[in-house]
Structure 1
Amino acid sequence: MGSVVDFFLVGFPGLSPDFHGLVSALLFILFLSIITGNIFILVFVQCEKSLQKPTYMIFCHLALTDLAFGTVTLPKIISKYWFNDSIVSFYGCFAQMYFVHFLGATHSFILMVMALDRFIAICAPLRYTVIFTNATVSVLCGISWLIPSMWMVGLVVYALMLPYCNSNVIVQCYCDHIAITRLGCENVYEVQVVAFGLALFCLLVPLGFIIFTFFAVIIVVMRSSSPGGRSRTLSTCTPQILITSLFYIPRCFVYLANNIGFHFSTSVRVAVVMLYSLLPAAVNPIIYCFKTKDIKDSLRKRFHLRKCNVTRIA
């Protein structure tokens, strides 16, 4: 048995070579959407003084995780189908694995910060501007980046210590922990149990907090005497609910399906993982723009001013 020196990415199993060009084009369009949409959000919030508030600072952190995740995962799989480049170096694959799980955990914790933002805004509106400032958001989001970055180093080093001496074929579109460690020769179960426990913590702790705040918000809103006030208050939660649902529901469905004995075929599993990993990164900027009143109003003003300027010039 020889040591593995690089890995081979399979991508979508069973995909006919006739569709490689189409798939690479679709993935490239997805990549451009992620890059364009999330950079737009980052730049627009920074340039628009009226949006430099806690809620939109959180949106920027989410956009940054989405931007980074797309940049880490998509170029290699696009290269595979566009240039038939399927080889990933040994340490390059572990580096990608680190960023895949680090960014996923960070996104989850930032969603928890977003839930806290809405919880305080609705349940303690008079104290919101005192409790939840931009500085508070920076600290909480900074912790959300810092803690997973340290955890994931340990996870990657633990996986790196496994001997890899059999297959080097990764049946996935990017290097993730399960796909890599299942290729190890020994002690695989122990490494995967540790990783699974950490993944559950990063997923379920934020999700549990988000569910708690959601029900607390509903109780407070239902006690409101004004139906119009209820509607307006709930509408402010719409972007957060959509963004959170896009992130958690597919993941919980896949984990639950696996635990109750329902197994997907390999090709379906890879497609589902790609969808829930990357589609939200492309969709989230649209939600920010069209489901958030302040951003919509700012965009409308910008376009109106530009239209007026063009009319004057004409």
Structure 2
Amino acid sequence: MALLIAPNISRPESFHILGFPGLPLQYYAPVSALFFFIYLTTAAGNVFILAFVICQKSLQKPSYIVFCHLALNDLTFSTFTLPKIIAKYWFGDGDISFNACFTQMFMVHYLGSVMSFLLLVMALDRFIAVCVPLRYPVLITNNIISVLCGFAWFIPVPLMVTIVLHALTLSYCKYNTIAQCYCDHISLTNQGCGVNLREVQVTALCIAMLCLLLPLAFILFSYASIIVVILRMSSSSGRKKTLSTCTPQIFITCLFYLPRCFVYVASTVGFSFSLDIRILLILLYSLLPPALNPLIYCFKTRDIKLNLMRKLKMSRVAIEI
């Protein structure tokens, strides 16, 4: 039932999160348990990274400060997206209020944009470390990297506020069903109507491409330059050591960008997905990186792995004593 807010604008009291439309009822409990497990894994892993880096003075370096910002972003994203879909399949509560849905939409796109800019900061850190190593201690300090990460959190704010305010100018007069596991701009505006609907959608697409493709262009340039420098090294051990310092960042960047690029390119060339497959793909590139990133930090980052192994050995010795 629509609530009239102003002439020519109607807003529903709530939306219904559809989730997976083809999912049989008997799978609701296992799916909710899976989502709950993913959330616990994501929360535990990213809280561990934050606490471990904060407690270990030796890890308080520029690269690990970026890791902490990424962990905070991943933790926040999962907290804003997973509880509602867990409640839908666990308790049958798939309704979300109008304001809560818009808040969730803002956070989904804001945190995704922040992630993109943080990956840019991470690529800049590795670019300077490998390509101009003698200038690294001057150009990249803890204070400078903290300021850059602060900009990564701040820059998307006005852009995402613009998207939300623009979407609020629409009337929502269709089925009030979000064909997704959380509120996002496409699912919301598909419920909208009005003469400016196309304008709202195109504006949001342009802002999204700016937040994704502008950082991606610099990231590709950075890692291409790093690969060129590595290939020019005469020492094989030097090449291996330099590459190993960049592999965590490359893994994290690929996890974030490759599935998104696949979905966008597939849609552009006319390859269509069923609604269930489309939702599954979006969930994979939205929720898988936050759960896997802590493992990448621990097993692909030498300093964290060494500190972690040292702590485990000390704990084992203490237990034996």
Q: Tell me what 1:62 maps to.
A: 70
State the Cα distance separating 1:290 from its structure 2 match.
0.3
1:132 and 2:154 are equivalent in the alignment: no
SS of the residue aligned with 2:192?
coil
Letter paired with 1:10 = L
State the Cα distance separating 1:126 from its structure 2 match.
1.6
Letter paired with 2:293 = N
1:177 and 2:185 are equivalent in the alignment: yes
Taking the aligned partners of 1:147 and 1:167, their CA distance within structure 2 comes to 34
Match of 1:282 among 291, 296, 301: 291
Taking the aligned partners of 2:197 and 2:82, their CA distance within structure 1 comes to 27
Taking the aligned partners of 1:234 and 1:250, their CA distance within structure 2 comes to 23
State the Cα distance separating 1:161 from its structure 2 match.
1.1
Taking the aligned partners of 1:15 and 1:270, their CA distance within structure 2 comes to 12
Q: Tell me what 2:21 maps to.
A: 13
Taking the aligned partners of 2:174 and 2:186, their CA distance within structure 1 comes to 16
Taking the aligned partners of 2:310 and 2:17, their CA distance within structure 1 comes to 47
Q: Matches of residues 68-107 of structure 1 in structure 2 within 5 Å?
A: 68-107=76-115
SS of the residue aligned with 2:96?
strand
Taking the aligned partners of 1:136 and 1:232, their CA distance within structure 2 comes to 25
Unmatched runs of 5 consecutive residues or more in structure 2: 3-9
Q: How many residues align?
A: 312
1:241 and 2:250 are equivalent in the alignment: yes
State the Cα distance separating 1:129 from its structure 2 match.
1.2
Taking the aligned partners of 2:127 and 2:156, their CA distance within structure 1 comes to 24
Q: Which consecutive segments of 4 or more residues in structure 1 shift more than 2 A? A: none
SS of the residue aligned with 1:173?
coil
Q: Percent identity?
A: 56
Match of 1:221 among 219, 225, 230: 230
Q: Tell me what 2:320 maps to.
A: 311
Unmatched runs of 5 consecutive residues or more in structure 1: none
Q: Tell me what 1:205 maps to.
A: 214
State the Cα distance separating 1:14 from its structure 2 match.
0.9
Taking the aligned partners of 2:109 and 2:213, their CA distance within structure 1 comes to 15
1:23 and 2:31 are equivalent in the alignment: yes
SS of the residue aligned with 2:16?
strand
Taking the aligned partners of 2:241 and 2:148, their CA distance within structure 1 comes to 27
SS of the residue aligned with 1:239?
helix
State the Cα distance separating 1:19 from its structure 2 match.
0.3
**What is the alpha-carbon root mean square deviation over aligned residues?**
0.9
SS of the residue aligned with 2:278?
helix
Q: Tell me what 2:311 maps to.
A: 302
Letter paired with 2:78 = G
SS of the residue aligned with 1:8?
strand
Q: Tell me what 1:193 maps to.
A: 202
SS of the residue aligned with 1:88?
strand
Q: Tell me what 1:44 maps to.
A: 52
State the Cα distance separating 1:301 from its structure 2 match.
0.8
State the Cα distance separating 1:263 from its structure 2 match.
1.4
Taking the aligned partners of 1:153 and 1:198, their CA distance within structure 2 comes to 11
Taking the aligned partners of 2:278 and 2:88, their CA distance within structure 1 comes to 19
1:41-91 deviation per Cα after TM superposition (whole angstroms, max 9, x unaligned) = 000000000000000000000001100000000000000000000110011
State the Cα distance separating 1:166 from its structure 2 match.
2.0
TM-score normalised by the chain length of structure 1: 0.98
1:257 and 2:255 are equivalent in the alignment: no
Letter paired with 2:203 = V
1:220-267 deviation per Cα after TM superposition (whole angstroms, max 9, x unaligned) = 112211111011111111101100000000001101111111111111
